[in-house]
Structure 1
Amino acid sequence: MRQSTTTIMDSQVNILKYNQYFLPVNLKVAKTATTLNAKGILPAGTIIDATGKVVNDGTAFGIVYENVDFNNSMGTENVSVLIFGFVDASKLPTAPADAAKAALNMIKFM
């Protein structure tokens, strides 16, 4: 039996400009395939490719919709990834490059 403790992490960041118009999909992301912050969290607004690797180029698949805590992870987590919507670019941890914007053609950065 696996037993773990849970701590409440930082509050979630709402990256959406208009909350009614968005479409997230689930993507399995391995802890070893992605880049986490110092707290072991994949932050909301991070641009990732189809394998979960953090990118800012033409291979972009979507934007992480909510913070994902990998601290008590068994190695892989289901990550909600935004593939359509209106995103507040000022709330993203890194400004998207032009190539990433072109790859994310169903996301409007405002």
Structure 2
Amino acid sequence: MRIDKYLWCTRYYKTRNMATEACKKGQVQVNGKIAKPSRNVFPLEEIKVRKKQIFYELTVMDIPPSRVGAKLVDIYRKDTTPKEAFENKELQDLSQEYYRKKGEGRPTKKDRRDIEDYLDEVE
């Protein structure tokens, strides 16, 4: 089965076109090598997928006949993503939220001066 179709079947991407685009952008690796969308996958291969700044690591257990339900996905893959990846993403989100809430626009003149003062202290 093609790698883009496998990622779509196991619900890593909502559409097959999204999976194909991710492969073309180099966000999918099979056994440590960047994979083209047409590359075939086989059981026990290691796949690494970069999605929303998290590197998901999974092992192919079996090839699904077609797109499977969310409850049956674990039959066809084993998720080996380290917990640190999710913790790092959570910390990143919190650090961005701490400084400026979403939708508040560009920094004000006072914000820029505070940033410049902070950077001068660090140097």
Class of the TM-score when normalised by the shorter of the 2 chains: under 0.3
Question: Which of the pair is proportionally richer in helix?
Answer: 2
Question: Which of the pair is proportionally richer in strand?
Answer: 1
Find the structure with the greater CA-based Rg.
Answer: 2
Q: Structure 1-normalised TM-score? A: 0.28
